[in-house]
Amino acid sequence: MSSWMRCAFLAPVLVVAVLFVLYKTRLEEREPRLAANQQQRHRANITSERSELIATCTALLQGEEAPAREGGDNGDPAVLLQPAPAGVPCGEYVRESHYVTMPLSAEEAAFPLAYILTLHHEFRTFERVFRAIYAPQNLYCLHVDERAPAAFREAVRELAACFPNAFLASRAEPVVYAGISRLLADVHCLRDLQASAVPWRYVLNACGQDFPLKTNREIVRHLKSFQGHNLTPGILPPAHAVPRTKYVHREHIVASPATVRRTNALKAPPPHNITIFFGSAYVALSRQFARFVLEDPIAVDLLKWSMDTYSPDEHYWVTLNRIPGVPGSMPEAKWEGDLRAVKWSDMKNHGGCHGHYLRGICVYGPGDLNWLINRRSLFANKFELKAHPPALECLELRHRERALNESEFPIQASWYL
């Protein structure tokens, strides 16, 4: 192996090693050990909760009625496998919440990922998502809606403070559904991630109500198969999407709820004679493409032009990725990528929603589990832990067991849910 190839291989490994040292230092600074009797009591509780959850999940996956649970706080359905409570020292929180604190394979260590997570509510749901996608070699930018409740913002800040590879976005937007603020939240995080020394290969964006259907290793292998190309599913705009970029739209933040409204004013043509495409807001982008987005005049001008459009995150990424010559572009791509499993209310090919619909998207219930585990997609959207606990917890238990079964290295007891 030549010297430059050795350097290319060792660089990400060294960064992971440094992150792990920082991680251990952070924990040791803030971690009083639990007494032996407390640890024993916690393990017993987890065993009982885990057994109950396994029985529930087994019944649901076999199409049977799940065993009844007692109600939780405020009459909500009971939630099992609770993370450690807020306010405990970081070391205790990480251990008792069962975070995986080492890479599970050399392949994953050498291929770090970056994540953009946009958040505004449902902290307990987000906490489960973060626990599932967390790996010490990866990097996580958390954008919290500027208008989110103070308690929610503080909870996210406290969680991020326990991990050296997680941080809050340097700039927060007051996010309006379908507004430019949603795209700007991603762009702010992208800029922060691009400035990091961590040699991440791809960045994926997600929200706090997504959940991974694939393990980190499976996600790495899926992305590697595209050989540096960006995944931005989409096509030329169908008729219903044309007005989104044909007319000027305005965010109305003072409205309740905040909205984006169309005006009668026509927009100027897109800059640089760009052809506008329509697609998913959820993408996987190479680091070279991220640099293009932040620095190239074509990308910068398209972002400015998109400021007064409707749901610009559904045309911005896919449009740039269809331009020939752009780093990692796929000019002929369509819906390739398998990034998200979503049950839309106007689609009838998914067997119906067994939870409830919100803005035309299914919030999954326990009856959706079999459909979810048979998807090829990397993630599914959307979940609410408080509304339908088994839908999320059964996926979480299955996801963690599959991840640990893939591990090339010894598994620590605290990593089991």
Report the Cα–Cα distance between both ends of the chain, in Å, rounded: 41
What contacts 24+ positions apart, CB below 8 Å, involve 266-274? 267/305, 267/308, 267/309, 268/305, 270/245, 270/302, 270/305, 270/319, 271/298, 271/301, 271/302, 271/304, 271/305, 272/298, 272/301, 272/302, 274/298, 274/302, 274/319, 274/323
Task: For residue 317, give both structure tokens.
Answer: 């990424």
Indicate left, alpha or beta for 254 from its phi (over 0: left) and psi (-120 to 50: alpha).
alpha
Instruction: Reduce the DSSP state of residue 194 to 3 states and report it.
Output: helix
Token reading at 194 = 């691009």
The Cα 294–Cα 83 span in angstroms is: 37
Per DSSP bridges, beta strands 234-235 and 278-279 are: antiparallel
10 Å CB burial of residue 117 (0-12, 13-18, 19+) is buried
> In terms of Cα–Cα distance, which of 395, 377, 313 is closest to 339?
377
What whole-number distance in Å separates Cα of residue 237 and Cα of residue 244?
A: 10
* Beta-strand pair 139-144/166-168: parallel
Question: Is 127 considered catalytic here?
Answer: no
Assess contact for 137 and 103: CB atoms under 8 A: yes
Amino acid making up residue 340:
R
Which residues touch 355 (CB under 8 Å, ≥6 apart)? 362, 363, 364, 365, 367, 368, 384, 387, 388, 391
Rounded Cα distance between 232 and 317, Å, is: 6
Q: Which of 96, 173, 251, 314 is catalytic?
A: 314
Q: Which residues does the annotation mark as catalytic?
A: 314
